[in-house]
Each structure stands twice: as structure tokens, then as C-alpha cells.
Structure 1
Amino acid sequence: MESMEIKSTLGNNALNNWMATTPGIEDLPLYKLALPGTHNAGCDWQASYALIPGAHWVACQHKSFHQQLNNGARALDIRLVLTSKGDGIDKLRIQHNGFLSSRTLGDLVTDINRFLSENPDEFIVLDFHELKGGDQPFDFAWFNKLMMHFLRDRIIPAKNRYSSLRQLKDISRTQRVLMHADWHHDLDFEWFNDQIEHAWIGTQTPSASDLQKYITKVMESPPSSYRPWSLSATSYSALGGPVDIHTHLDKWFDPANSDWLLKCNIVNVDFIEESQLVSFCRTANLIKARRL
């Protein structure tokens, strides 16, 4: 009943600025919010891939970083590899299980800057899930320098990671990106936060039924609500690659059907435009805000 009442109060259905136009969530910090995330964000159908294995084995999203953000994603799962090919920042390529996407770190920072220029009061969690060497070791110091150069004015200092959205807006008019990565001595943890805890089923080809059972178990004792964590709600077929399971997601995560989103921080999905996850997160966040 509570979720149905709240849904009726959501007058703005635009996805590009849903955080700024969802009343009442300003007093929640990012780690307390339910955030729609894109799994393997840089592997999309608009990018290009080697002929083998082909896009259908690799692509987990339909569209670019910018379009994912415009469609409501607020946490991006980023997996980078350093290659010798390309120039400058474009040597840092997106990869999925070792298969390269044409997307680069340059595409990521360009799309983030563009999106935040258009939507200055939205917030983004950058989850650098993997930073790997390819045909050369990963250069953490260079990566750190690039992030400071291209996004410095956008990055939320690590010391402010527990601040509410309202407090973050008061602190800065531009700092809207929270970065997470595994610890390395060449990363500046004044700006980077430690790696996000991931709840993943642990098998490469889970069915929707397997996934439902796993998530049900996670929700019985979810990770700490005092630090960020992400739930991987994705399915993969050995015959066709990432599977669109939006009908299942819409049933599982609808606040009218379950309290799952009230227990979640980041929910990573494939093909985010297909499901109603963003709308459900808005509703869940209003419920969370009312319970403060």
C-alpha cells in the first residue's frame, strides 16, 4: 500500500534527472539509496567487437554510457584493460571476460562530463570493478592521473562519501561522481573509495530461476547497510550470451511485490532500458526517505 501511494505522487517520469526530481530523497546518502546500475556498462550493442566471439556474446547493454545515464542508470560497472593499441587515454579499453569493446576510458569521461553538464544535480557511482593489464601491466599511476585530469571537478572526495545528497550539493555545485576501486598504492584514496562489495551468484550461466533463488537467499541476510554494495541481477546463456530477463526483474523488484529494493544499494542489470528498475528505485527511495 505504501508503495502504491508513493507512486501516485511521482509527477515527473523523466529518467535523465530522476534524482533531482524525486522529492524527499535529499537526506539520504548514496550508499543508502537504491541505485539502478548497468552491468558491464561499456559493452553495448552500439560499440564494436571482434568478429569472434561477436557482439551477442559480449554486449550487456543496448546503448552508450551517456544514453544509459539518460535512461536512469546511476551506477556504472566499469572493467578496464590497458592495451598498447590506441592513443593516450584510448589505450584503456572496456573488456568483458577478456573480450574487448571499442569503448574506452575516453568515452566514459566524455559521456559523464556531457551528462552532468546537462543534469547537474544527478549523482553517479563509478565502480571500477576490474583494472587489468592486457599486453602490458596496468598503469595505476597513469590511470589515477587521467581521472584527476578529466573528472577532478566532478569527483566527490572520499571523506564525503557518507554525506547526504543535500549535504553534497551544499559542499559543491559540481562534485557528483563517487569513485570506487580495489586498493593500489598508486591510486589516490583521497578521491577513490575502496572496492564495492559484490553479491554475485558465482556461476557463469545462471537461469532466471537460479538467480531468483540466489537473490532470495541474499535478501535473508543482505550485506551491511552502512557501506555500498551491489547485487548482480543478470543471467547468461551458453548459447546466446547475456539474457534479457526484464519480465522477471519487474516482478522481483516491484516494491508493491517485495521489499528487496528497500534492502538494496546498487542493483546491476543488463539491458537497463527494458525493465522498470529505475521507476522502482524511485519508489523505493521515497519509502526509505519516509522511514528516516
Structure 2
Amino acid sequence: MSQTLQNHPPIHMKWMAETPELQHLRIDELILPGTHNSGSDKQSPNLGLPQEIAQDVSPHEQLRHGIRVLDLRVAFYKNQPADSPRRFQLYHLTSSGRTVAVDIVQKVKAFFQELESQGAPAQEIVILDFHQFDGFTDEAHAELQGLLFDEMEQRLISYQLSDLTLSSFWADYPGRNVVIAYNHSSVRDEFWDGVLQRWPGENLFNTNTLKAFIDSVAQEEKTPCRLTAVQCAKYSLPFHAATDLSHKVDQWFASVDEWSYIQNFYIINTDWSLRHSLIAQCQHANRIRGQRALTHPQEPLQPALRHLNNG
């Protein structure tokens, strides 16, 4: 099922709406495809060094193709005017030129407007994980949180609703689609804690080491209602550039049945995220997990761990 960007990856704009089994799960129980360093892509205004680029297309296009979790790292530029979008820019090592106000807030709203132009409330969930901050003060955090709340309030899924399954959620709160996870103290009760991103703590290692780490994450017990991600990403020499792990992603996270390895995970963040079949695998895996939650409500969602070939 491997699919490269050059072969025109399929657009999965409504894959969650087309997966009715999701209704039996909470948001934190979903198996979701995410992008690592979502704002550092080849279409960025400021195309940086090779080690800064992790995606092929913009965050907006990532969403349109089926990605549902954006890993956002934000730098604060205090010398920019308070009303300038460039005050909060996405970065990896340096700014990509993308801004929170335009490339995230406006484009997320445009994504849902496109869905709803078809005449029905959108039933896709997008998680915006504001994970890392550079140059921030307490005042800068308050300013960014205010921007996010003011612009996204009508779409926000409050953390106070985190214990609801999607069936209850869609029935009582149609039109709310966006989780803001903020990895810093927040004055907004609506915001969720930052996604718990599990990564090895270093970037340069071989593929077997990465798989061993992911195996260890698969065995961890997840806190209820806590958003949790595994970082399936690594870098390669000589340029310290993001490795294309598409073949391994397709192998490791293939969804076949309830005992498939992917059933041990929740959010799966990858680089070059439209070059492999993870979105389709997540859709299939959610069908299985949702059906299992319906038929075996007292059993844990994660089945006994089955290791796959490390090769």
C-alpha cells in the first residue's frame, strides 16, 4: 500500500466521517496519523537547511490528505507588531516563514469550511499540538493563547468534554472539531495538556534502535484522557536530514486484525507523512478498535503486544 507523493497520494478529507466505528471511542483512544515538525515543509516560504525539512507539503495540505495531528513548534518575535501574523512563526532550527495566524488558524478554518460546504457538519477531529516554544515569556504565552481562543472558540473541543465518546460528542456538540493541546501552563480551561510525545531523546540512531524504542512505547500503559504520541522519526548522516522511513512505516503499522501491532498506539507522528499508507492503516485500525470497544467494553483497547520483524 506504499504511496509516494510523486504518485499523487489520495486525499482523505473525510476519512473519520466515513469510519462509523469511531463513535465508540473517546478522542484520546483514537489511532491518528500525525506529522512530526508539521510546519517545516518543502513548500515553506523560508526553505531552510536539509535538516530542518520534515514534510513535503503545507500543514493545510497535510490536513486535506488525512493527517489529523499537527506537531507545532512556535517562535515568538517580540519586535514584530502586535497585529502582525509574523509575531508567532513556526520553526524547527530556524523559522520556516509559516505563521500560526495564517498557516494554522486560517487554514484550519478553511479546511472545515471546505468540508461543510457540502452541506453537513464536519465530523473530522484535528489536534493542534503546540509542543515547543522559543523566545517566549509569560506574556507571549498569554498572547498566543488569546489569539487561538478568540479565533477558534466556535470550533474548540474543551478538555471538559474529554471523557465523551464521539457518538455523544457529535450528538451534543456538532461543529466542534479542534483540540488545542498546549505544552505549557495555560489560563484556558478549554485547552488540553500538550501531547505526551514519546521519542528516544536523540536523533541519530539506526532503524533497529528506533524499532526497539517503539516496541517499548507499545508496552506502556496510557493515562485515560491523555493524548499520547509515538515519534516514528529519525535523521541520517551526512546532512542530518529526516530519514524517509516509508517502507518501515508500512511494514510496522500495517492493520490486518485486532492483534496487529498498530493497535498498541494512539497518535503516530512521522516525517514525509504522505509517502506511506499510514492514514489508510489508521482508518482500518480504528474500525477494529471501535468495534472492539463496542463488543468488549470492559477489556483494554491494547491487545497483547505482538512484535513484528525488525528488518
TM-score w.r.t. length of structure 2: 0.82
Name 1:262's counterpart in structure 2: 263
Q: 1:117 aligns with which of 109, 113, 116?
A: 113
The alpha carbon displacement at 1:290 in A equals 1.2
**Secondary structure of the equivalent of 2:23?**
coil
2:39 paired with 1:42: yes
Q: Distance in 1 between matches of 2:175 and 2:187?
A: 20
How do 1:19-30 residues align onto structure 2 when only pairs under 5 Å count? 19-30=16-27
Name 2:202's counterpart in structure 1: 203
Q: Distance in 1 between matches of 2:161 and 2:145?
A: 19
Identity over aligned pairs, percent: 26
Name 2:231's counterpart in structure 1: 232
The gaps in structure 2 that reach 5 residues or longer are 1-9, 116-121, 294-311
The alpha carbon displacement at 1:86 in A equals 4.5
CA contact (8 A) 1:82 1:137 kept: no
The gaps in structure 1 that reach 5 residues or longer are 1-12
Q: Distance in 1 between matches of 2:280 and 2:169?
A: 23
- CA deviations over 1:231-273 (Å, ceiling 9, x no partner): 0000111323111110000000002386332121100001111
The alpha carbon displacement at 1:225 in A equals 5.3
**Secondary structure of the equivalent of 1:101?**
strand
Question: Which letter does structure 2 place at the counterpart of 1:215?
Answer: I
Name 2:55's counterpart in structure 1: 61
Name 2:243's counterpart in structure 1: 243
CA contact (8 A) 1:129 1:181 kept: yes
The alpha carbon displacement at 1:182 in A equals 2.5
- CA deviations over 1:159-188 (Å, ceiling 9, x no partner): 01222222222222221111111342xx33
Name 2:308's counterpart in structure 1: none
Structure 2 vs 1, CA of residues 226 and 141 (structure 1 numbering), >3 Å: closer, same or farther?
A: closer
Name 2:275's counterpart in structure 1: 274
Q: Distance in 1 between matches of 2:151 and 2:238?
A: 39
Q: Distance in 2 between matches of 1:27 and 1:256?
A: 20
Q: 2:100 aligns with which of 92, 96, 105?
A: 105
Name 1:76's counterpart in structure 2: 70
Name 2:307's counterpart in structure 1: none
CA contact (8 A) 2:219 2:264 kept: no
The alpha carbon displacement at 1:147 in A equals 0.7
- CA deviations over 1:264-290 (Å, ceiling 9, x no partner): 110000111101000110111011011
The alpha carbon displacement at 1:214 in A equals 1.0
Name 2:132's counterpart in structure 1: 130
RMSD: 2.0
The alpha carbon displacement at 1:132 in A equals 2.5
TM-score w.r.t. length of structure 1: 0.87
The alpha carbon displacement at 1:138 in A equals 6.3
Name 1:148's counterpart in structure 2: 149
Structure 2 vs 1, CA of residues 138 and 237 (structure 1 numbering), >3 Å: closer, same or farther?
A: farther
Name 1:7's counterpart in structure 2: none
Name 1:3's counterpart in structure 2: none
CA contact (8 A) 2:35 2:71 kept: yes
Name 1:182's counterpart in structure 2: 183
The alpha carbon displacement at 1:191 in A equals 1.4
Question: Which letter does structure 2 place at the counterpart of 1:209?
Answer: N
Task: Please identify, of 80-89 and 265-274, the stretch whose mean Cα deviation from structure 2 is larger.
Answer: 80-89
- How many correspondences in the alignment? 273
Q: Distance in 2 between matches of 1:32 and 1:84?
A: 38
